[in-house]
Structure 1
Amino acid sequence: RHVLRPNHGNLALRLSWRVSLLVLITLFLTALIGFRPPLWVALCISILVGIGTFLFIRRIVARRIARLQTTLAKIGEDDATPFTNTPAPLRDELDELNELAIEANQRILYQMQERERVEHYRREFLGNVSHELKTPIFAIQGFAETLLDGALEDQRVRRAFVKKVRRNATRLGNLAEDLAAVARIEMGELSMVLKPFDLKELIEEVIESLESLAADRNVAIRSAVPSGLPPIIADRSRISQVLSNLVDNGIKYSRDGGQVEITARPLPEGSVKITVVDDGIGIAPEHIPRLTERFFRVEPSRSSKLGGTGLGLAIVKHILGAHNSQLMIESLLGNGSTFGFTLPTADA
């Protein structure tokens, strides 16, 4: 590491001889107005003042440059202590240089913290992905080995195991799709095509696509969208993905014979509020803030059985964020949940 070795003496010398010159000029002017000390006295005064100024300035400059040298050296040691709570306002070039060093170190410190945060996220994400992939893969492997060990001869067992293999394979495929979506989002590749479209028509399409799943779980889906709802402006395919995720969650966590309702109503400020309401098991208040975290599940075992990947609401959050909107969640344990968001109308 290169160490700053400033020449304190040169700087002090330049300042001190200028002060000495100023003293001589002062003595000359006083001589003009009548006060005439002997020449040797004037020279001695000038020399003494010059030496005193030299020593005084050299000490001050040396101390301040040494402090700056110390703080600069700390950058290479990942130590931000000298840079925090620096009191002095700018007084001259040295203070300005010290301030620039502080700002540079603060930027470096921020970059280091950001790098550590990203690295922590990367490790956590890879650990979660590894765990999520292992579960369906090991399940498929176990079912296949059981079939090969003799269960193929029993038609009833064979059919049940093949269904389980298909369910886990579907879950694996869904996980791969969601991971790809999250990767695109994190890399900033979430492209948006904002165009006006009929929200009521889109809601009907989402309901139609999920009716089979709802029927299998004995859950009804209905919409409450008023006629004459103004067109909204958003990315139609992405909002379809948001609604599909929310309705799918509502179906999975509803009780037998339950209901999921999609509503939409215009707001005075030129937007539409969309909500997905279920009468399912509800969510405890302490879990609500974490629902949009990747791989977070309130009941991991239940979510896995239902085929969830733990990424759906994280994707929803990012898509809505790209639309300058956010997911609003209201829920009471045992009393169902409401997920809502707003989108602007085309004429807003």
Structure 2
Amino acid sequence: MRHVLRPNHGNLALRLSWRVSLLVLITLFLTALIGFRLPLWVVLGISIIVGVGTFLFIRWIVARRIARLQTKLAKIGEDDATPSTNTPAPLRDELDELNELAIEANQRILYQMQERERVEHYRREFLGNVSHELKTPIFAIQGFAETLLDGALEDQRVRRAFVKKVLRNATRLGNLAEDLASVARIEMGELSMVLKPFNLDELIEEVSESLESLAADRNVTIRSAVPSGLPPVIADRSRISQVLSNLIDNGIKYGRDGGLVEIIARPVPDGSVKISVVDDGIGIALEHIPRLTERFFRVEPSRSSKLGGTGLGLAIVKHILGAHNSQLMIESLLESGSTFGFTLPTADA
């Protein structure tokens, strides 16, 4: 059980004042014993006056400030770490310094409480999103399997279509599990990085070829524009491959029928290379751009679910680029396409 402090006003002053009064009384009696005779009422009067004066002095100088300190500590003990609105007074002595330390501790606790609430809110939201993302393909697989068992197995055309849908949802589950594992590794600081020089044009060609089948299904063309003589860049090749795959994949999924996704690489004056993935798709409203790299954020949830996205791709891209001291730059307008870009240092820089 937590012990909660309760302010006690004046106790210190009272205890000190009667001790001082007693000390004065003893001193006067001793003085009388060695020859200085004073009437008893004078001795008692002086003792009382000194005691009352001591009480008022200590209460004014010490006890009030200790009481304020007690009040602050009591609020902290009750989880009432409210921010201080008082202007800090000049430090006069150790008690003022102690009060300032209490105020600082109060503010630190307030920040920690707010951070704890933010993390708890994020945790609940994250678990809710994961649960939703898992249930959608699981329920789809369950529904298709039950339909097949109820008699659709006899119809070859229906059977083949349903098995394809089961496979698509199973693939979606696998992608979600892989992306969640990547997010976990990133958050735990276990994102391994091997920075070596490599040719960017070769990597762009490899990633483009791996996505040609998806682009053909969507009737989207992939094209690269990399100048000859582009210097090698220094980065983790496999991680940059993951970044390009995510960006090109998004350009294909959200592109128009007969559209184009272009990967452009150009040297920039600071000695680095800027890589941009440009599409002529549906575009993104300006108010949504700041949230694009949030986990599970989707501009159009229903469309994204149909396209099989996990909602984690751009969050992973952001963290991978952050590990390379780079950042994702986004430009987009509704109905005018989007550009996702980032920079990498060259081996010559």
| TM-score (structure 1 length as normaliser) | 0.86
Following superposition, the deviation at residue 260 of structure 1 comes to 0.7
CA contact 2:4–2:78 (8 Å) conserved in 1? no
CA contact 1:8–1:61 (8 Å) conserved in 2? no
| RMSD over aligned Cα atoms | 4.5
Is the deviation greater in 44-53 or in 226-235? 44-53
Following superposition, the deviation at residue 306 of structure 1 comes to 1.2
Which deviations, in whole Å up to 9, do the C-alpha atoms of 1:162-208 show, x marking residues without a partner? 11111111111111111111111122222222222211111111111
Q: Are the structure 2 counterparts of residues 2 and 176 from structure 1 closer, same or farther at C-alpha, using a change threshold of 3 Å?
A: closer
Q: Are the structure 2 counterparts of residues 144 and 18 from structure 1 closer, same or farther at C-alpha, using a change threshold of 3 Å?
A: closer
Matched residue SS, 2:194: coil
Q: Are the structure 2 counterparts of residues 257 and 4 from structure 1 closer, same or farther at C-alpha, using a change threshold of 3 Å?
A: closer
Q: How many residues align?
A: 348
Q: Are the structure 2 counterparts of residues 205 and 56 from structure 1 closer, same or farther at C-alpha, using a change threshold of 3 Å?
A: same
CA contact 2:8–2:67 (8 Å) conserved in 1? no
Is the deviation greater in 272-281 or in 30-39? 30-39
Measure the CA separation in 2 of the matches of 1:26 and 1:82: 49
Which deviations, in whole Å up to 9, do the C-alpha atoms of 1:245-284 show, x marking residues without a partner? 0000111111121111000111111111110001111112
CA contact 1:71–1:83 (8 Å) conserved in 2? no
Is the deviation greater in 125-134 or in 193-202? 193-202
Measure the CA separation in 1 of the matches of 2:28 and 2:269: 83
Is the deviation greater in 204-213 or in 191-200? 191-200
Matched residue SS, 1:8: coil
Measure the CA separation in 1 of the matches of 2:34 and 2:265: 95
Matched residue SS, 1:223: strand
Measure the CA separation in 1 of the matches of 2:154 and 2:302: 31
CA contact 1:275–1:339 (8 Å) conserved in 2? yes
What corresponds to 1:131 in structure 2? 132
Output aligned runs, 1:1-348, within 5 Å.
Answer: 52=53, 55-81=56-82, 83-348=84-349
Over the matched positions of the two proteins, sequence identity in percent amounts to: 93
Is the deviation greater in 279-288 or in 77-86? 77-86
Measure the CA separation in 1 of the matches of 2:8 and 2:218: 83
Which deviations, in whole Å up to 9, do the C-alpha atoms of 1:132-151 show, x marking residues without a partner? 11111111111111111111
Which deviations, in whole Å up to 9, do the C-alpha atoms of 1:86-142 show, x marking residues without a partner? 531211100111111122222222222111111111110010011111111111111
CA contact 2:144–2:162 (8 Å) conserved in 1? yes
Q: Are the structure 2 counterparts of residues 279 and 86 from structure 1 closer, same or farther at C-alpha, using a change threshold of 3 Å?
A: same
Measure the CA separation in 2 of the matches of 1:242 and 1:345: 18
Following superposition, the deviation at residue 26 of structure 1 comes to 19
Measure the CA separation in 2 of the matches of 1:10 and 1:287: 60
Following superposition, the deviation at residue 34 of structure 1 comes to 25
Measure the CA separation in 2 of the matches of 1:33 and 1:340: 96
Following superposition, the deviation at residue 243 of structure 1 comes to 0.4
Is the deviation greater in 304-313 or in 20-29? 20-29
CA contact 2:81–2:109 (8 Å) conserved in 1? no
Measure the CA separation in 2 of the matches of 1:322 and 1:82: 36
Following superposition, the deviation at residue 11 of structure 1 comes to 7.7
Q: Are the structure 2 counterparts of residues 6 and 151 from structure 1 closer, same or farther at C-alpha, using a change threshold of 3 Å?
A: closer
Measure the CA separation in 2 of the matches of 1:32 and 1:229: 105
- Segments of structure 1 that go 5 or more residues without pairing to the other structure are none
Q: Are the structure 2 counterparts of residues 65 and 181 from structure 1 closer, same or farther at C-alpha, using a change threshold of 3 Å?
A: same
Q: Are the structure 2 counterparts of residues 4 and 94 from structure 1 closer, same or farther at C-alpha, using a change threshold of 3 Å?
A: farther
Q: Are the structure 2 counterparts of residues 54 and 210 from structure 1 closer, same or farther at C-alpha, using a change threshold of 3 Å?
A: same
Following superposition, the deviation at residue 234 of structure 1 comes to 1.4
Q: Are the structure 2 counterparts of residues 212 and 58 from structure 1 closer, same or farther at C-alpha, using a change threshold of 3 Å?
A: same
Following superposition, the deviation at residue 47 of structure 1 comes to 9.5
CA contact 1:320–1:327 (8 Å) conserved in 2? yes
Matched residue SS, 2:10: helix
Measure the CA separation in 1 of the matches of 2:346 and 2:32: 88
Is the deviation greater in 315-324 or in 49-58? 49-58
Measure the CA separation in 2 of the matches of 1:28 and 1:229: 101
| TM-score (structure 2 length as normaliser) | 0.86
Measure the CA separation in 2 of the matches of 1:95 and 1:266: 59
Q: Are the structure 2 counterparts of residues 155 and 116 from structure 1 closer, same or farther at C-alpha, using a change threshold of 3 Å?
A: same
Q: Are the structure 2 counterparts of residues 50 and 251 from structure 1 closer, same or farther at C-alpha, using a change threshold of 3 Å?
A: same
Is the deviation greater in 328-337 or in 5-14? 5-14
Following superposition, the deviation at residue 29 of structure 1 comes to 24
Matched residue SS, 1:339: strand
CA contact 1:280–1:335 (8 Å) conserved in 2? yes
